Structure 1
C-alpha cells in the first residue's frame, strides 16, 4: 500500500481516489537520484529565495 496525493485538492490518502473530490490520486515519490541533476540549479535558486 502506497501513500497517494490528490492532484486537485492536494490531500493525501491511501485509496485510489480522493475522498473529498473523487479525483484519481497519484503516487507520491521523490525523484530518483542522479549525479547529472538537470533541475538542481533551479531547486537551489528556489531554496535560496525562500530562505530570505
Structure 2
C-alpha cells in the first residue's frame, strides 16, 4: 500500500491525496507522533495543554 491516510483541515474528509477532492483544502496526517520516553519537548507540550 505505501500511502498513509490524510484528513482535510477544512471539511474533515479523509483521503489519500495532498489536496482534498471535496473542498480543495490542504490535508494533514491525523496520526499522532510516536511516544518516546526521551522526548525533549514533552514537558513543554504538557505545560501548554494545562494553560
Same fold (TM over 0.5): yes
SS state of the match for residue 33, structure 2? coil
Q: Which runs of 5+ in 1 are unaligned?
A: 43-52
Q: TM-score, normalised by structure 2?
A: 0.58
Q: What count of residue pairs does the alignment treat as equivalent?
A: 40
Give the root-mean-square deviation of aligned CA atoms: 1.8
| Higher fraction of helix | 1
What is the CA-CA distance between 1:13 and the residue it aligns to?
A: 0.2
TM-score by length of 1: 0.57
Moved over 6 A (4+): none
